[in-house]
Structures are given as structure tokens and as C-alpha cells.
Structure 1
Amino acid sequence: MTDRGARYDRNGEDEAERLDRHWNELLQELRLAQTGTQILFAFLLSIAFQAKFQEADSFTHDVYSGTLIASALAVGLFLAPVSFHRLVYRQRLRDRMLPIAGHMAAAGLVFLVIAMAGGVLLALDVVLSRSVALVVAALVLAWFTVFWYAIPAWVRANANGE
């Protein structure tokens, strides 16, 4: 059993090893996020070409447009660190690249949350009343916000106060 106040530490790790570890951790996170986001994006692209979708109202088209754009922005932000790395490869800029790539990934998660809520709203608007679909989509958005942002922020704030 570990002490609650004990922190995870890498004794003996030099700066280059720390940067390499952080880069590898970021890549692992991006692999998970990219796959689902790309599948969502591909699915959303196919919807616009369905005959029934052409008959949908302007609300549905607006939600679809916002969801598609959010999904595309998430894909772009999740892939951006790969492009960034390729362009600065062997330039010894990992110390400058990592914080920027981390911000790109974090921004990608924001757009992914928006795309997920929009996708839920689009699907539920077909099978439920619009008001119920809006409430459920708002609950999904809140759920993501709590688990992806509020809880980690709470843990971080409490860890810094130890």
C-alpha cells in the first residue's frame, strides 16, 4: 500500500529521457483518440449523402454541420502533433514541441466532446422527440465534462495542495 501523499517520480531520469517518455505517452493517448474520431468523422461524412437526410429540417442540417466541423477539427488536432514532429524531426526541438503538441491534443478532446454530443443529438432526434433528444445530448455533454475535465481538475487541484 502506498502513502496517499507519495508522488510518482522517476529517479535518475534525465531531461532527454523525460521528454522521450512524455512524447511516447502523448502518442499512446493520440492513438486511442484518433481511431474513434476518424470513425465518427467517416460516419458523419456518409450521412449527408443519404436521401432521407436531404429531407431533414434546418435544425438537423445545422446540428449535422456543427458536428461534422467539430469532428474534422478534432481529427486535425489529433493528427497535428504527428505532422509537427515530422517537420521538426532531428532538430532537437522536442522540449518546445511537446507543450504545443499537448495543447493540440487537449483542444482536440474539446472538439471531440462537441462532436460526440452532436452525434448523439443527431441520432436521438430521429428516434425520440426533439426535446428529449436535446436533454439527453446535454446530459451526455455534461457526463463528458465531468469525467474528462472536472474530475481531473479536482484531482490536480487537490494534489497540488498536499
Structure 2
Amino acid sequence: MSTGQPAGTRSGRPPQQITRNLSELLQELRVMQTGVQILTGFLLTVPFTERFTTLTDAQQDLYLAILVTSVLTTLVIVSPVCYHRLLFRQGEREWIVAAAHRCALVGLVGLAVVSAAVVLLVFDVVLGTRAALIAAAAVALAFTLMWAAVPWRGRAR
């Protein structure tokens, strides 16, 4: 489906800007990817520890939910690399940038959820449910403030 414009410029943006946007997005995703993959790696080792068998059924269910969310977050963060590889030189760079942007946002939310949930599980095991809920809420609030409120406030200025 041709729009009469050169590939990668359907929005009217210069190809250099689209290329720069893609490079910036891929670099941001690399930073997130490292953190999520390290966290996922640690999560994968947990069931093989002696202490895992002492977790309650609810704690084990929470652990499994955290693990799946962490793996899905990894999937979302790595997906733009796959898009880029599969669509390389196909004139879809602008689409890749838009998709990578969405993946980055979803990946950030996933990382925040996984981080707060890990805190919930660890505090629950160490200190109990009440402390776990308070700690997880504090972490979720910190992510919300730093990743949403601060940039929106800065943007409003």
C-alpha cells in the first residue's frame, strides 16, 4: 500500500529523525532489558532453594505470577528487536518506531509491577502480610512518582 511518499516517511518526518528515534528507543530498551533479565534470572533460581518449600500456597502462587509477569515483560521489551530484524529494509522503520515506543511503555509498566510484586513477596516471607502490603505500596508509589508524576510535571512547565 503506497502513500506516494518515500518509505519510512508516511508521517512526513525525515528518515534521519525516524532512524534517530529508533536508535534511542532500542538503547532505552537495552537498559530495561538488562534489569528485567537479571531479575527474571534470579526468579528462575528461587524454586531450587531449600526455603521455597516453606512458602505458603499463596506465596507460591504470587511467585509464579511474578515469574510469568517478568517473562512477559522480557517478551515485550525484546519484541522491537525482532520487529526490526524481520522488517529490516522493508520500508517499515516508522512502524517499528511506533511499535517500539508502545513496547517500551508497556515494558516500563511491567518492570514497575514486577518490582513492586517482588517486594510484596519478599516482605511477606520475611515480615508478614501487613508489612508486605505497605512496602509494595510504597514501591508502587515511588515508581508512579518517578516515572509518571515527575515527567508530567516537567512537561507541564
Structure 1 and Structure 2 fold alike (TM over 0.5): yes
- Shift in Å at residue 52 of structure 1? 2.0
DSSP-derived class of the 1:78 partner: helix
- 2:122 corresponds to: 123
Cα displacement string for residues 26-83 of structure 1 (whole angstroms, at most 9, x for unaligned residues): 1111111000100000101111222321231122112212211111111001100000
**What is the rounded CA distance, in whole Å, between the counterparts of 1:35 and 1:43 in structure 2?**
12
**What is the rounded CA distance, in whole Å, between the counterparts of 1:58 and 1:131 in structure 2?**
18
**What is the rounded CA distance, in whole Å, between the counterparts of 1:80 and 1:111 in structure 2?**
14
* Equivalent pair of 2:73/2:111 in contact (CA under 8 Å): yes
One-letter amino acid of the counterpart of residue 33, structure 2:
Q
One-letter amino acid of the counterpart of residue 133, structure 1:
A
DSSP-derived class of the 1:54 partner: helix
- 1:57 corresponds to: 56
**What is the rounded CA distance, in whole Å, between the counterparts of 1:26 and 1:80 in structure 2?**
12
**What is the rounded CA distance, in whole Å, between the counterparts of 2:152 and 2:62 in structure 1?**
29
DSSP-derived class of the 2:62 partner: helix
- 1:44 corresponds to: 43
Q: Does 1:135 align with 2:134?
A: yes
- 1:86 corresponds to: 85
- 2:103 corresponds to: 104
Cα displacement string for residues 92-126 of structure 1 (whole angstroms, at most 9, x for unaligned residues): 11111111111011101111111101111222223
- Shift in Å at residue 127 of structure 1? 2.2
DSSP-derived class of the 1:48 partner: helix
One-letter amino acid of the counterpart of residue 79, structure 2:
A
Report the RMSD for the aligned CA atoms in angstroms: 1.4
Aligned counterparts, 1:9-24, within 5 A: 15-24=14-23
Q: Which moved more, 1:58-67 or 1:38-47?
A: 58-67
One-letter amino acid of the counterpart of residue 37, structure 2:
Q
DSSP-derived class of the 1:91 partner: coil
> Structure 1 residue runs of 4+, over 4 Å off?
none
User: Structure 1: any 5+ residue segments left out of the alignment?
Assistant: 1-13
- 2:7 corresponds to: none
**What is the rounded CA distance, in whole Å, between the counterparts of 1:53 and 1:83 in structure 2?**
35
- Shift in Å at residue 154 of structure 1? 2.8
Give the aligned length: 145
